[in-house]
């Protein structure tokens, strides 16, 4: 499964592409400590030929497995790119890969999804980060029982 569009057909009419592609297939090199692209990316695309370019418009939707950058909670982030519009050349350095009559839209879609990802995924806008872990009760009691040197010195002075 890949995002290929028939250039010969495009000369006559625009083509609609709907479906989904495995994120691992879309961006095999994607690596991030906090995000994993492990769900399929759903796409609804309209491709139109414009002289030496393709005009790609549509919507992308996926979910990303994330770890919160502040509290390390694992959560599922919904990512969508609505009504994006992209002009991709068929010639030159930035050209789409073309195989016979087929142009591969994968790089264009990959870029749009990657741009929609947060730099620091957060489980929620109000995430306050890691809560200080409560110390085991025994330890707390023992610490309180031990005289605090500074204060006990003051107490001694008063006496």
Site residues (CB under 5 A) for Zn ion?
A: 68, 70-71, 73, 123, 127
Cβ-based nearer residue to Zn ion, 73 or 142: 73
**Spatial distance between the Cα atoms of 105 and 82, rounded to a whole number of angstroms:** 17
> Parallel, antiparallel, or unpaired: how do β-strands 15-22 and 98-99 relate?
unpaired
**Spatial distance between the Cα atoms of 32 and 29, rounded to a whole number of angstroms:** 10
Min dist. Cβ of residue 123 to Zn ion (A): 3
Min dist. Cβ of residue 148 to Zn ion (A): 34
Min dist. Cβ of residue 122 to Zn ion (A): 6
Cβ-based nearer residue to Zn ion, 130 or 141: 130
Cβ-based nearer residue to Zn ion, 128 or 158: 128
Across the beta sheet with 102-104, the strand order is: 4-6, 102-104, 98-99
- Would you state the structure tokens that stand for residue 95, as one six-digit string? 């050209």
> Radius of gyration (Cα) for the chain, nearest Å?
27
Min dist. Cβ of residue 34 to Zn ion (A): 11
Cβ-based nearer residue to Zn ion, 131 or 137: 131
């Amino acid at each position: 499964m890949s995002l290929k569009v028939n250039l010969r057909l495009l000369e006559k009419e625009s083509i609609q592409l709907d479906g989904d592609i495995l994120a691992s297939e879309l961006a095999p090199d994607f690596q991030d400590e906090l995000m994993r692209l492990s769900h399929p990316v759903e796409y609804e695309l309209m491709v139109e030929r414009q002289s030496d370019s393709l005009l790609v418009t549509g919507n992308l939707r996926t979910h990303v497995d994330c770890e919160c950058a502040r509290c390390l909670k694992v959560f599922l982030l919904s990512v969508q790119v609505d009504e994006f519009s992209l002009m991709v050349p068929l010639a030159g350095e930035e050209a789409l890969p073309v195989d016979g009559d087929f142009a591969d839209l994968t790089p264009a879609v990959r870029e749009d999804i990657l741009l929609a990802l947060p730099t620091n995924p957060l489980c929620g806008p109000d995430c306050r980060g890691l809560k200080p872990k409560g110390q085991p009760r025994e330890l707390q009691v023992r610490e309180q029982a031990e005289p605090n040197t500074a204060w006990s010195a003051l107490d001694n002075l008063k006496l």
